[in-house]
């Protein structure tokens, strides 16, 4: 999977170039190309923005500079262009999995008061938001998208575990434990050291249901629950009263 990132601050992506995502790149599971929008300024001072028509505070990214940066991507014909903005539709687990099936994504990161609407209308296929708060630019949201989407691209995680994780079945994760078996006077739940995997799986399912019920009860409305799950939840509810 290839990501082309159009940004005024490509240095901000340095941290994801190391870490797990960086390893995935070395393995050629993903590729992240950074394109500095400023390289496409025709101005002698490398200016990329200007004051808004109609007046008002701040600066607006010029459409011609953004369009030239976009056109420098040669194999863009089958790519999906995503603009990261608070006005977009929310990035959810479902959307992350959907995007992970694409071969080529182009991520457009804005700054200042915005980007001239005419170039957005021309090149953007989808506007995506990572949450209802306003950041100073689209770089952090683009990194959130790359990180979350890459987990579902074959060969990125290496252990084939992503299907089992939170949200795959709509429930939150069960708690995890490792050595030492006693920490600050607290023992690891006994069932986990029995080696009885049928019992361990049952316990983990119950703890997933407990976490979801206590922390994110809203999620339970969109989960397929077995008869056993529903009984477990009834018991958890009674324990709370
Ligand atoms: C600032 C986007 C300027 C575009 C921003 C421009 C955001 C979010 C966000 C800031 N993006 N989810 N929340 N972006 O705040 O995605 Cl032009």
In tens, the pLDDT along 3-51 reads 999 999 999 999 888 886 878 888 899 999 999 999 999 999 999 999 9
Atom 1 of ligand 1, residue of closest alpha carbon: 137
Ligand 1 in contact with 60 (CB < 6 A)?
Answer: no
Work out the pLDDT band at 91, boundaries 50, 70, 90: very high
Residue range 182-240, CATH number: 1.10.1270.20
Asked if 16 and 147 touch (Cβ cutoff 8 Å), the reply is yes
- Domain layout of the chain by residue ranges: 2-150, 182-240
Of 124, 135, 143, the residue with max ligand 1 atoms within 8 A of its CB, to mutate for a pocket test, comes to 135
Question: Could you read off the pLDDT of 199-215 as tens digits, one per residue?
Answer: 999 999 999 999 999 99
CATH of domain 2-150: 3.40.1280.10
Q: Which residue has the tokens 């008002």?
A: 56
**Ramachandran sector of residue 185 (left: φ over 0; alpha: ψ -120 to 50; beta: rest):** left
Average pLDDT over residues 128-148: 97
Q: What's the rounded Cα separation, in Å, for the pair 34 and 17? A: 11
Among the listed residues 158, 193, 196, the one whose alpha carbon sits nearest the alpha carbon of residue 179: 193
Distance (Å, rounded) from C-alpha 114 to C-alpha 109?
A: 10
Q: Which of 160, 84, 161 is CA-nearest to residue 128?
A: 84
Assign 125 a pLDDT band (cuts: 50, 70, 90).
very high
- Write down the pTM of the prediction: 0.95
When pLDDT is averaged across residues 137-152 and rounded to a whole number, the result is: 96
Which pLDDT score is estimated for 167?
81
Please give the span between the terminal C-alpha atoms of the chain, in angstroms, as a whole number. Answer: 50
Q: Is the pLDDT of residue 164 over 60?
A: no
Give the model's pLDDT for residue 26: 83
Residue 161 scores a pLDDT above 70: no
Query: Residue 165 has what pLDDT?
Result: 67
């Amino acid at each position: 999977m290839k990501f082309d990132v159009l940004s005024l601050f490509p240095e901000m992506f340095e941290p994801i170039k190391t870490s797990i995502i960086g390893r995935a790149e070395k393995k050629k599971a993903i590729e992240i190309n950074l394109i500095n929008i400023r390289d496409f300024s025709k101005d002698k001072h490398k200016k990329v923005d200007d004051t808004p028509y109609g007046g008002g505070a701040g600066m607006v990214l010029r459409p011609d500079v953004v369009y030239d940066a976009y056109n420098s991507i040669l194999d863009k014909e089958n790519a999906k262009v995503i603009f990261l903005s608070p006005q977009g539709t929310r990035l959810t687990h479902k959307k992350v999995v959907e995007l992970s099936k694409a071969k080529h994504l182009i991520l457009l990161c804005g700054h200042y008061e915005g980007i001239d609407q005419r170039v957005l209308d021309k090149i953007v296929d989808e506007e995506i938001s990572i949450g209802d708060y306003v950041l100073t630019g689209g770089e952090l949201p683009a990194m959130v998208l790359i990180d979350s989407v890459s987990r579902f691209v074959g060969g990125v995680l290496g252990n084939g575990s992503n299907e089992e994780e939170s949200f795959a079945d709509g429930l939150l994760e069960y708690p995890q434990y490792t050595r030492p078996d006693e920490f600050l006077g607290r023992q690891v739940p006994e069932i986990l050291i029995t080696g009885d995997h049928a019992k361990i799986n049952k316990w983990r399912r119950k703890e997933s249901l407990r976490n979801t019920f206590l922390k994110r009860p809203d999620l339970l409305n969109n989960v397929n629950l077995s008869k056993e799950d529903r009984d477990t939840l009834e018991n958890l509810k009674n324990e709370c009263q």
